[in-house]
Structure 1
Amino acid sequence: MPHAKKATLVFLHGFAESPAIWTDFTRGFPAHYRLLMPALPGHGPQPQPVTDYSMEAQAQAVLAQLDAAGAEKVLLVAHSMGGYVALALADAHPERVAGLVLFHSTALPDTDEKRENRTKNQDFIRRHSLDKFMNSFIRPLLAPANRERLGTELQQLEAIGKATPEVTILGGLEAMKHRPDRTQVLRDARFPVLFISGHDDPAVPLDTLLPQLALPAQSHALLLQGVGHLGFIEAPELTRRAVLDFAAGVFGK
């Protein structure tokens, strides 16, 4: 089937990640879907640092990649910071969005406490190096019961983070501090939204996400016990099935 005829799923990775996080997750997806996994600015195997890491600029970079691929209306599957980028894209170009999966992500802006923590992280990186930061940053994102079980996957994610340019990490932290409230995007959405959340997610606490479930006209949710912020490796079968079922509903396949 020609690419232009295929329903397109666009997978957006999160902060200090790369498209590689989706490799195992998307293995075995039906051939009638076209899968795109763009690298966000400054990320990926051949990162090219940029000067603007705002969610709006990142969304425009994703949109340019969609245009280049001839993808007009897509289902966005977006993890963490990727969700902030997806919401910025949906805010500017809702006509390009067939559906949205907020995969451990939120439409809320940072709290004052979160902004302070991001500034502390920036200071730590400048003083002690990106490598030392990554050695302590990713592990707490997993639910406690999964930290030893997923040791290999944790090391892979740490390696991806360490390979990301420091300027990208610092820029991403700064941009996330200043992103706006985009709950109105959910209220105005004419496309369905799937929320995937972990009960043990320290980055997007469940109690902050639950009120958002009522905002879209078409809302779906997968709430996972024993899962933190990385459900694509903590509960891959459940989250994969949720995305596929949601895609089938969006595209009628």
Structure 2
Amino acid sequence: MDGVQLYTRSAGEGLPVVLLHAFPMSSAMWLAQREGLSSVCKVITPDLRGFGGSVLGEDDPSLDVMADDVARLLDHEGVDRAVVGGLSMGGYVTMAMCRRHPDRLRGVILADTKAGADPEAARSNRERIAAAVLEEGTSVLLEEVLPGLVGQTTAQRRAMVFGRVRGLVQAAPPTAVAWAQRAMAGRPDSFDTLRALKTPVLVIVGEEDEITSPADAGAMAEAVPDGRLVVIEKAGHLSAIEQPEAFNRAVSGFVAELAGGIGESPSRG
């Protein structure tokens, strides 16, 4: 299995930090991170297969396939070890990286994601949405997925942010949406993976996240041997888009800690 080459953008110099996007976004969601973090690290933001500029390929749906794509991306970039992180689906791919390629990790960032596997009802719902999107297009996502992606504060007070999120959702290719839904439905429980990690982990969550809650985030931070938790106020599931400055502060502090520099290090909560 040769996989696919991910389309990626990068900015900055220094410690490489790979950020993996949420479902059903593309790497365009990381614009504020490419701009805001490029002074402290090299930010690498790929489009996961099928999204943005990356092709879907012929592989069966699997987060392991996506993790192997990221490992190949590191090879292509000439990077031996990197901080790898992701938000939501990107977090699931990051945990697959932890299982399959732990030697490539300098640190881990898990944002607005969870380590547990889907219960049967959630798996069935993913399959239902996958089939509906292939038949009806992304309008299904606007009705069923979009409302839960942002927090109450964003929905009520940040019309421009909500509009940007809507545009990113609308741009998602139906075939990639269906493939990713099926990949996420098949993911295993990752708590044992987290307990075995030998690298530092930063867990970030929006306080208004109703998809992957602060309780989910706290459980992950407690599971890893070297974890810290940052809760971002007035943000929902897409904390990096809703509150980019706070998100960037958390990441830059973590990167400074890993690099042995002086900076604001996130504290365990």
Instruction: Tell me if 1:142 matches 2:145.
Output: no
Q: How many residues align?
A: 249
**Partner residue of 2:115?**
107
The residue that corresponds to 1:56 in the other structure is 64
* Counterpart position of 2:187: 179
Distance 1:12 1:149 in 2: 27
Matches of 2:254 and 2:207 in 1, distance apart?
21
- 2:111 and 2:127 map into 1 onto residues whose CA distance is 24
Structure 2 residue aligned with 1:78 = 86
Of 180, 188, 197, 2:196 maps to 188
Residue in 2 aligned with 1:157?
165
TM-score (norm 1): 0.91
CA contact (8 A) 2:63 2:187 kept: yes
Q: Secondary structure at the match of 1:9?
A: strand
Q: CA deviation at 1:57?
A: 0.3
SS of 1:226's equivalent in the other structure is coil
CA contact (8 A) 1:9 1:36 kept: yes
Maintained 8 Å contact 1:200/1:229: yes
- What amino acid is aligned across from residue 56 of structure 2 in structure 1? P
Aligned pairs (5 A) from 1:225-244: 225-244=233-252
Residues 184-204 of structure 1, C-alpha deviations (whole Å, 9 max, x = no match): 121111111111112321211
User: Which position in structure 2 is the counterpart of 1:37?
Assistant: 45
Q: How far does the alpha carbon of each residue in 1:90-140 deviate from its partner, in whole angstroms, 9 at most, with x for none? A: 211111101111010122111223223213322432453213423552232
Q: Write the letter of the residue equivalent to 1:174.
A: R
Q: CA deviation at 1:21?
A: 0.8
Q: Is the 8 A contact 1:124 1:133 kept in 2?
A: no
- The amino acid across from 1:48 in the alignment is V
> Which 4+ runs in 1 deviate beyond 4 A?
none
Superposed CA deviations along residues 39-90 of structure 1, whole A, max 9, x for unmatched, are: 111111x342223331000011111111000011101121110111111112
Identity %: 27
Correspondence 1:9-48 to 2 at 5 A = 9-31=17-39, 33-44=41-52, 46-48=53-55
Q: Is the 8 A contact 1:125 1:133 kept in 2?
A: yes
CA distance in 2, matches of 1:155, 1:108: 31
Unaligned runs of 5+ in 2: 1-10, 262-269
1-structure distance, mates of 2:63, 2:253: 28
1:170: Cα distance to partner? 0.5
Question: What are the superposed Cα offsets for residues 9-63 of structure 1, whole Å, 9 maximum, x if unpaired?
Answer: 111111111111111233132545222111111111x342223331000011111
Give the TM-score normalised by the residue count of structure 2.
0.85
Unmatched tracts of structure 1, length 5 or more = none
Q: Write the distance in 1 (CA, Å) between the matches of 2:159 and 2:41.
A: 31
Q: Is the 8 A contact 1:139 1:154 kept in 2?
A: no
